[in-house]
Structure formats: C-alpha cells, structure tokens
Structure 1
Amino acid sequence: MKYLVTHWERVIKLFIEHSILTFLSLFIALCIAIPLGIVVSRNKKAAVITTNFFGVIYTIPGLALLSFLVPFFGLGAKSALITLAAYAQMILVRNTITSITTIKPEIIEAARGMGMNKLQLALKVQFPLAIPIIVAGIRIATISIINLAFIAAFINGGGLGELVLEGIRTNNSGKIISGTIALGVLMVLTELIFRIIEHFISLKPRK
C-alpha cells in the first residue's frame, strides 16, 4: 500500500493506459464482431464455422499469439490491440449470433407481414431485440480484455501489467499489490457501468 500512496501518479497513468488499451481493443473487436455475427446468423453452417474458427483462436495462449504478431507489427500497443481484439471475437460473435437466432419466428413473420424490408427488419426489430444479449456479451468480453491486457507489458504495450511485471522482476511486493488493486478497481467500475446499462435496457421488455 505504501507504493500506491507514494507513487499514485504513476499508478493512475498506467490505469489510464490500461483503460485505453482495453476500450480501444474492444471498439476494434465490436466493429468486426457485430456485423460479422449479424451476417453469419442467417446461415447455420456459416455460424458454426465462424464460432469454431474464433474458438480455436481463443484457445491459443495470449503470449503465444503476441509472439506470433510481434515480427509483423512490432513491439508495443499495436500487437497488443490486435491480440486483445482477436480474443474478444469468440464472445462477441457468439453472443451476437445467439441474440439474433433466439428471436421468436412469429415476431419476424409479423414484421414481414407489416411490409418491412430486410433493412427495416434488422434496424427496427432484430437489432433492438438483440441488444440485451449483445450488451451482456460486451460486458463479459470487456472483463476478459481487462484481465488479458496484463500481457501487453511483455511487449512494452503499457498498462498495469507493467507495474506487476516490474514488481515480479525486482521482488517488489508494493508494485505487485498496487497493480493488482488498480486492476480490481478498473474491473469493478467496468462491471458497475455495464450493470447500470443492462438495467436500463431491461426496463424495456423484450417481446
């Protein structure tokens, strides 16, 4: 705790770095996963192939994937961002597919009976009904990314892992504890934010 009090400025700096790394990689992952999940949800075979593909990526150890990417993208945040975004795909794509495929067929038929085209059906019916499950997937993916972002420190990617790694190398328990506490605070804050979002979404019942 002494290190946390005497070096709070550095801890906050690394906390911000970790947050940026987390939410930037999440944004990249969402830009890929949401459209992809919506598209492949229309075809059961495509959905299975896609989830299996990202499932294989998800089983690759984080450091192994980082090591593979470093020769192509170099040391630093770029390789870390790609790794984190890749790991998030499994959760995000799977939840997006589930959110679309679990909508009751009679709701879709009723919307078509009202004369809605595919775009209107997607924007006015499917996506609004899918939001609760998608948001739940985003929450889980974000918590996973926060944990995994620790490994960015191994390739000079920044974040709280840098503090913990320094503590391990120098046998400085103060750094390890400070980094762990800061990580816990980030996870709790993130969880609370998403719980609040999910609460407000749930106020509008899913038909």
Structure 2
Amino acid sequence: MMEFFAEHGHELILKTWEHFYISLAALILGVLVAVPLGIALSRTPKFADKFISFIGILQTIPSLAILAFFIPIMGVGKLPAILALFFYSLLPILRNTYIGVRDVDKGVIEAGKGMGMSNRQSILKMELPLAMPVIMAGIRLSTVYLIGWATLAAFIGGGGLGDFIFDGLNLFQPALIVAGTIPATILALIADRSLAFLENRLTPEGLKDSYEAA
C-alpha cells in the first residue's frame, strides 16, 4: 500500500479533486435549473406530471450513450462530462422540488397572501422553507448518483477517479480499481452527510420538530 501511495499519491489527490469538481459543477447546474423549474411546474400540475414523466423517460438512456452523444457536439474533456452529468442530476431535484412545493399547506399560503405577501415573497419566505426537507432529499439523492456516475467522465477524457478504474480494468491491476472506487465512495458519504447538515440548518425549527415527532 505504501508503495502504491508513493507512486500514485499525487495523482490520486489530483483525480479526487477532479472528480469532486465535475460532480459539484453538475450538481450546482442541476439545482440552478431544477429548483426554479420545479417551482414553476407546481403552478401547472397538469402539465407538470407529463413533463416530469418525459424527463424520466429521457433519463432511461444509458449514461455512456449520453456521454458519447456529447462528443461530436462538444468534443472531449470536462465540459461535456459536466453537461452530461447535469442532465442526469435534473430528475430527482426537479421531482422533489415540484412535490415539496405542491404539497405545502394551501392554508398557509393563503394566510401569507392575506398578510400582503407577493408571489415572490410567498415562494422565498414560506413555500421554499416549508418544502426544504423534500427538496434537499432530492439534492442528496442526485449528489450520490452524480459522484458514482462521474467515474464515467474518464470515458470522454473528463478525468476524475474513473481514470484509475479504467486503467485498472485495461491493465488488469485491481489496486488501481480500488484506488478509484474507495475515494469515490468516501466522497459520496461526505457529500451526503454535509448536505444533511445543510438541510438541518435550512429547515424551519417548527418543521423539524414535526418531522422528528413523525
């Protein structure tokens, strides 16, 4: 093991950072697109169900096929890998945002309007905070998926821990496969726990109490 770290230690740190960067960039794009879109869809439930079902069907396309699709359009490297992963990040975040906002107690929303809140104020101060546990569940699920799928970025020259896994498979070296797999697993666990902490901080106190009681 010491010999492996002596030989590949610097490369392992670099690949872990690349893996984290690719996953984080795709996740941020997913949140920036899916959360506002989920809020908008909560206003049109009839269209929303059809649209989310359509996105779900698109995501049944194999990951490698999506990555390969981006090669003739954008070439190889990190950018097409990030965009392909962003595509896969959408569904859990979009669906949970839509469900979370849609299921906010309508009486609470009406009370806010009665206090003079605008639609924007209602979303930012009432609907999003109340839907936060459901939204964060979608973000956490998407994050874990993305960190696992990011290993495929190596297929199109995107770097990351997938380089170790592919090299290990091609060279029949199990140590390289393990070197790519274990850090990715640790990254997923750390990301999930970090987002759970963030969820706890963003969820209103009264809502946390009701979840704990349930």
Q: Distance in 1 between matches of 2:151 and 2:109?
A: 43
Q: Distance in 2 between matches of 1:107 and 1:15?
A: 45
Which sections of structure 2, spanning at least 5 residues, go unmatched?
A: none
What's 2:44 paired with? 43
CA RMSD of aligned residues (A): 1.5
Q: Distance in 1 between matches of 2:29 and 2:3?
A: 34
Distance apart, 1:4 and its partner CA: 4.5
Q: Distance in 2 between matches of 1:185 and 1:123?
A: 34
Q: Give 3-state SS (helix, strand or coil) of 1:59's partner.
A: coil
Distance apart, 1:204 and its partner CA: 1.5
What's 2:122 paired with? 121
What's 1:82 paired with? 83
Q: Distance in 2 between matches of 1:3 and 1:83?
A: 36
Matched residues, number: 207
Q: Distance in 1 between matches of 2:192 and 2:205?
A: 21
Distance apart, 1:49 and its partner CA: 2.1
Q: Distance in 2 between matches of 1:94 and 1:203?
A: 21
**Residue 51 and residue 176 in structure 1: after superposition, are their counterparts in 2 closer, same or farther (change >3 A)?**
same
Q: Distance in 1 between matches of 2:2 and 2:157?
A: 25
Distance apart, 1:176 and its partner CA: 0.7
Q: Does 1:27 align with 2:24?
A: no
Partner deviation per Cα, 1:50-75 (whole Å, 9 max, x = no partner): 21121012111000111111111111
The amino acid of 1:195's aligned partner reads A
What's 1:159 paired with? 160
Q: Distance in 2 between matches of 1:195 and 1:124?
A: 21
> Structure 1 vs Structure 2: percent identity of aligned residues?
34
Q: Give 3-state SS (helix, strand or coil) of 1:24's partner.
A: helix
Q: Distance in 2 between matches of 1:183 and 1:2?
A: 20
Higher relative contact order (CA closer than 8 Å, sequence separation 6+):
1
Partner deviation per Cα, 1:18-49 (whole Å, 9 max, x = no partner): 00000001111111111111111101122112
Q: Give 3-state SS (helix, strand or coil) of 2:59's partner.
A: helix
Is this contact kept in 2: 1:57–1:86, CA < 8 A? no
The amino acid of 1:118's aligned partner reads N
What's 1:177 paired with? 178
Is this contact kept in 2: 1:92–1:141, CA < 8 A? yes
Alignment of 1:49-198 (within 5 A): 49-198=50-199
Which sections of structure 1, spanning at least 5 residues, go unmatched?
A: none
The amino acid of 2:45's aligned partner reads K
Is this contact kept in 2: 1:33–1:93, CA < 8 A? yes
